[in-house]
Structure 1
Amino acid sequence: MNVVGYARVSTREQNPAAQEAELRRAGAGRIFVDHGESSRVPDRPQWLACLDYLRPGDVLLVRALDRIAGSEVMAIELIRELARRGVRLRSLTEPFLDVDTSTPMGEAIVGIMAVLAQLRVSTIRENTRRGLEHARSQGRAGGRPTVMSPERIEAAVRMRESGESVAKIARTLGVGASSVARALSRRDEEFMRR
């Protein structure tokens, strides 16, 4: 039996070292790691390499199911595909995942677990949406504060009126072009409402 690990982080800035260390401690001899990849994208480079490497009788070890599948449908399809190939799936944080998926009970447990994982994701999204709505009703905007201060916006407006491009304005102000474009667009909308 070969224990193969898979780790994934969603952004390039994140470090998968903790996941890798956990997988090694749990017995993974070979570990595949994707950096800056979403679990909703099925053709992640190292994920595909991992699937290609797995053989019947192997164990695929992950920290959590959300490392390999971004939705309950993906999770169920993946677990069934691994079972068809004779590969067992183990999760360090979801011990009930290490079940025999070739039996009706095993398949039912996996289905229930996938639905619960999706419920968690949906609940987080709903709570975030409610929080943002509440903040807006209190006159606060959610998200990261803008880099475009009133002074920068005024400078951007003057530069645009003199014919400068958004890219040139952004370089001059030391901010991103998308920040300048959003600020100018908001300014234009406010002007049109007057």
Structure 2
Amino acid sequence: MSSIVGYARVSTREQNPAAQEADLRAAGATRVFVDHGESSRITERQAWLACLDYLRAGDTLVIRALDRIAGTEQIAIELIRDLGRQGIRLRSLTEPFLDVDTSTPMGEAIVGIMAVLAQLRVATIRENTRRGLAHARAEGRVGGRPSVMTVERTAAAVRMRRDGKSVAHIARVLGVGASSVSRALVKAEGPAATPG
């Protein structure tokens, strides 16, 4: 008897997969496998391997999106071919074109196109980020979060360091991380400012 099997994945251990699991169960999944803190570029994920072992011919694998199971176009295409050869249907909740019989040439072609589009989206995001950072640098700005080490904190850190205080002590007094203090001291006074 065929069954609907769900697979969910979150990239970090801090993320909660509950919403993914709920969506998969609402789609009829009677069993859901979940990986925590795993990249979709890694094929040896514990829950993913257990899911593949559990699936049988005639089953349907339900995912929220293709990026939950495959982080690259190559991984996606290889995976879809493997599922098709085993007679397993693939269904994505957010990509309607992936609700196809992956064991047929048309199903494999559609999923291959979707994988290419997903990879293109990732590449576009990366390129836009790279351009944005280059533009910020050209205007004298640095991308990323602003440092917790304000001008005032840096000046205080420099004074305390000259008074012989340790980086750990300075960090506690300023209420920031030691690595932030170290970076600020190196920027202000050079590498010799931080040993000890």
TM superposition shift of 1:38: 1.9
Q: Where do 5+ consecutive residues of structure 2 fail to align?
A: none
CA distance in 2, matches of 1:26, 1:103: 23
Instruction: Give the letter aligned to residue 86 of structure 2.
Output: R
TM superposition shift of 1:80: 1.5
With over 3 angstroms needed to count, the CA separation of the structure-2 counterparts of 1:190 and 1:160, relative to structure 1, is closer
CA distance in 1, matches of 2:164, 2:44: 44
Instruction: Give the letter aligned to residue 113 of structure 1.
Output: M
**CA contact 2:90–2:98 (8 Å) conserved in 1:** yes
SS at match of 2:24: helix
CA distance in 1, matches of 2:167, 2:87: 56
Once the two structures are superposed, the pairs formed by residues 31-180 of structure 1 within 5 Å of their partners are 31-161=32-162, 164-180=165-181
Q: Where do 5+ consecutive residues of structure 1 fail to align?
A: none
TM superposition shift of 1:70: 0.8
Partner deviation per Cα, 1:102-147 (whole Å, 9 max, x = no partner): 3333222222111111000001111111122222323332211111
CA distance in 1, matches of 2:49, 2:164: 49
Tell me which residue corresponds to 2:23. Answer: 22
SS at match of 1:148: coil
CA distance in 1, matches of 2:45, 2:180: 30
What CA RMSD, in Å, does the superposition of the two structures yield over aligned residues? 2.4
With over 3 angstroms needed to count, the CA separation of the structure-2 counterparts of 1:136 and 1:103, relative to structure 1, is same
TM superposition shift of 1:178: 2.6
CA distance in 1, matches of 2:82, 2:5: 16
TM superposition shift of 1:17: 2.1
TM-score, with structure 2 as normaliser:
0.84
Identity score, percent: 76
Matched positions, count? 191
TM superposition shift of 1:163: 5.2
CA distance in 2, matches of 1:113, 1:36: 25
